[in-house]
Structure 1
């Protein structure tokens, strides 16, 4: 195969990749490599095809081969960094990402991919810089505009994000993710403007694809709430939740099995019989509970203390559990992985977790890890990390349920889109936390969201005192911080503490009845009024 023919085949392979025709990509690259095995571009495209096909190990081998042939081939390093991050090797992923930033300066799609990786690693300022660089190369790319706006929302730059989203929608009026993001960062109080946005959303929803419907309905629900049109808001939230639930492969009996496995394998007996790991003098503060109950607010308060480092919503702990358990399940947690990790050394698990966050840590002894679902692992964390403390953030069960139900999450919380399933999950969570509280009361501090917003200083002082930290007035000015909050609550924590959402569920008390009935049968709600 001549050099011009090789170039022609590689160009055709790239066109096939753009069309996501991975079979054609593979066949053309294999043909090229048979003629010349020292083609880094062919190895890279072959690795990308394997990666998109779910074969990460094959992809990594191909990409490493490309980098051996040409260490400056930045495209291969971008995809390798993606694989490392997906495998929980975050420090290695960031190292590879840092190496290739100067090698892809003129490729908007690779810059976009790398920026998304930095965002997933919690490096929002670095992500924003790369997105802006990508926009210089491709100023009208709607996907890059949306991604840039999403990070700006995380960083509190809502007006700038809205400008980018409106620009994107001028080019692509039906881009449903842009409509959803725009509703989240809406900065107008003009009811006529809001109604105009609503009219657009409703028109789009009439002909939208199943993938688009959740975004459009959740955006419309948010705007209807802004107008205090409660019946319309509920109608959209319910339609959005229903559309999202249809797209998910979720079984409540499998979820219940995970709770059963936690109690069986990591419960009271395991905790009392398990040797503790080594205390390294650090104080990890795990902020746990359910999403949308105030955990982001608590992390922002603690992270504003001069003696605390806020690490954000990390997946390092459940990934460390999964890896040590040797789990090959696609899910982050399973019955088998829980059973397997119960037989592992807690000390080894603690070491693995520390190693996985080492690249994020600074000199502060105290740091936060705010992944709500870590409540499942509290005895395991307590034994693996003897210095760990747990802040359990709670909220009125009805406010919590409504706040969760009206939020469109990314890939997490599949139980949140059906009121019956949401209630069942809440009951299991509540019962498990009661068990953990009884098992290790000295390690768990329960902080009520409604009390926090009613008395910010008093509740903050009490929490800091429990953690052995002096009071710092900066904790009450958290909304002035430049730290990113990459969660569904990103916009809210850019404002001073307020109680506007407390009691909001009462606007929807009739519609929430199926959820309330589940909680009432479990004895969680005894007052007929909620």
Structure 2
């Protein structure tokens, strides 16, 4: 009987790499297990095995396998970069930064490693460091459109809009069909009758070969049409793309309606027993519907010398799900909410505070500005009963139109409502009910701030916010345009300017398409 001679390890590694490039995970897995049969000390096999769960969203398994690779080869930069990446994907910014910092002053031989390290720093909110790594990636390979796109994004967040514009244009010159870059470029403004990109955007959209590209280009077109005061064309461009998108994600508002009801029912259950919670009073959460002034409040607060911003962290909910052993992407079922309520929330609060230390530093207070943490307020205030939560409310029509006009992360299913005007209106109505519910439940820790009052009388309203957050008044907090910290939200351009009320009433430009919306919000 003849036995086949096993393929050499180098050949099997190459076969596994090829399989991974085409998402043929079963073949990659088979080849890598064969490698480990021949050599249990092959670090590269463990690393490549980690790419399988990383690709399918099993971050914990990927971390476990990369750690095995690092144990064999402790100084391998590639393994360290990807471990840092995995921790940041998981929301563990402390460990992400710990591993990323090991390589900050190390000379890397691969442009893709510099770029990946830059993405890690960017996810953590350290955009100066991210900018440096993206620049180093470009120095090694200046033909990759994605490197310029990543650099442009960090430059935008840092307030270097001219630099960002040049980098986005360079990205587009290298890859003319890079639709996200076109959308990002238009977000910088400066669109005029003489200087716009409408012709090329129309042509690109006509040739878009997938729904995602069509959506990005439609948002870019809408932004440019709006800049030219052609609101009918702006709405038409959005409407066509949003209708495609809502079918693609199979969104039905009834699921969000159940989520809002389940949250209120859970925290109205009198027999539910909670632990005392973690003692820290560092955290200030700024919440609300997106596009309602949450970034403005964050900039006012972080202008105080005792306050740092940690950006928009998803880590609280991730830690909550981990503690309750809930793998679901969206926390919207009552049985899951009850399970989360019964987990060790004191430990969740402690882990959350520790997870922010890498960014918050030694400051007395920090601001976490994830708008839809409004859904997690009950858990936050049970886990961190001394924290403060500032909730923004804004004119309903301005809120609804602004959310509809915004393109959110395509995988962020909490914002799927924004693909439909009536769904956005219904979401707003339920948000208002939930906001009032939280204020009644937690009157000492939950404050409602009105956007219109804030921009019309900034000092008066800002003083109330500071008093609520137990901070003394400092007049420089109103000078948001001089606040040097990065802004990685849709308001990155707007909040580099002085506080203004010019956004009030913007909904009137789209009044022609709001009849159904008005019926919903007057119920």
Question: Taking structure 2 as the reference length, what is the TM-score of the superposition?
Answer: 0.92
CA contact (8 A) 2:392 2:449 kept: yes
CA contact (8 A) 1:267 1:379 kept: no
Aligned to 2:176: 173
Cα 1:439–1:13 change in 2 (3 A) is closer
State how 1:132-171 maps to structure 2 within 5 Å. Answer: 132-171=135-174
SS in structure 1 of the partner of residue 195 of structure 2: helix
CA offsets, 1:100-134, max 9 Å, x none? 44567121122222221222222222222111111
* Alignment partners' CA distance in 1, 2:481 and 2:135: 25
SS in structure 2 of the partner of residue 267 of structure 1: coil
* Alignment partners' CA distance in 2, 1:167 and 1:288: 36
CA contact (8 A) 2:401 2:421 kept: no
Moved more, 76-85 or 161-170: 76-85
Aligned to 1:259: 260
Aligned to 1:377: 376
* Alignment partners' CA distance in 2, 1:447 and 1:242: 33
Deviation at 1:190, TM superposition (A): 3.7
CA offsets, 1:294-333, max 9 Å, x none? 0001101110111222222111221222122221223355
Moved more, 287-296 or 163-172: 163-172
Moved more, 340-349 or 12-21: 12-21
CA contact (8 A) 2:59 2:90 kept: no
Cα 1:29–1:387 change in 2 (3 A) is same
Cα 1:288–1:213 change in 2 (3 A) is same
CA contact (8 A) 2:192 2:228 kept: no
Aligned to 1:460: 462
CA contact (8 A) 2:331 2:337 kept: no
Moved more, 406-415 or 43-52: 43-52
CA contact (8 A) 1:325 1:340 kept: yes
Moved more, 250-259 or 426-435: 250-259
Q: Aligned-residue CA RMSD in angstroms?
A: 2.4
Aligned to 2:51: 48
Deviation at 1:78, TM superposition (A): 2.2
SS in structure 2 of the partner of residue 510 of structure 1: helix
Aligned to 1:83: 86
Deviation at 1:346, TM superposition (A): 3.9
State how 1:295-306 maps to structure 2 within 5 Å. Answer: 295-306=294-305
Aligned to 1:436: 438
Aligned to 2:40: 37
CA contact (8 A) 2:274 2:342 kept: no
Deviation at 1:407, TM superposition (A): 0.3
State how 1:157-306 maps to structure 2 within 5 Å. Answer: 157-186=160-189, 188-194=190-196, 197-208=197-208, 209-267=210-268, 269=270, 274=274, 276-280=276-280, 282-306=281-305
Unaligned runs of 5+ in 2: none
CA contact (8 A) 1:72 1:103 kept: no
Deviation at 1:204, TM superposition (A): 0.8
Aligned to 2:510: 508
| Matched residues, number | 516
CA offsets, 1:147-181, max 9 Å, x none? 11112111111111110111121222111111001
CA offsets, 1:364-422, max 9 Å, x none? 32221111112223233223223212211111000000010000000331111111211
Unaligned runs of 5+ in 1: 522-530
Deviation at 1:355, TM superposition (A): 2.5
Question: Taking structure 1 as the reference length, what is the TM-score of the superposition?
Answer: 0.91
SS in structure 1 of the partner of residue 390 of structure 2: strand
Deviation at 1:262, TM superposition (A): 1.2
CA offsets, 1:55-111, max 9 Å, x none? 444433332221121111122222222333333332122212222445671211222
Cα 1:362–1:57 change in 2 (3 A) is closer
Aligned to 1:525: none
SS in structure 2 of the partner of residue 205 of structure 1: helix
State how 1:483-522 maps to structure 2 within 5 Å. Answer: 483-521=485-523
CA offsets, 1:240-286, max 9 Å, x none? 32233233243322222222221122237368x64533534x34221
* Alignment partners' CA distance in 1, 2:463 and 2:53: 53
Deviation at 1:221, TM superposition (A): 0.6
Deviation at 1:360, TM superposition (A): 2.7
Cα 1:117–1:220 change in 2 (3 A) is same
* Alignment partners' CA distance in 1, 2:248 and 2:104: 36
SS in structure 2 of the partner of residue 276 of structure 1: coil
Deviation at 1:230, TM superposition (A): 1.3
SS in structure 2 of the partner of residue 203 of structure 1: helix
Moved more, 18-27 or 411-420: 18-27
SS in structure 1 of the partner of residue 270 of structure 2: helix
Deviation at 1:290, TM superposition (A): 0.5
Cα 1:5–1:345 change in 2 (3 A) is closer
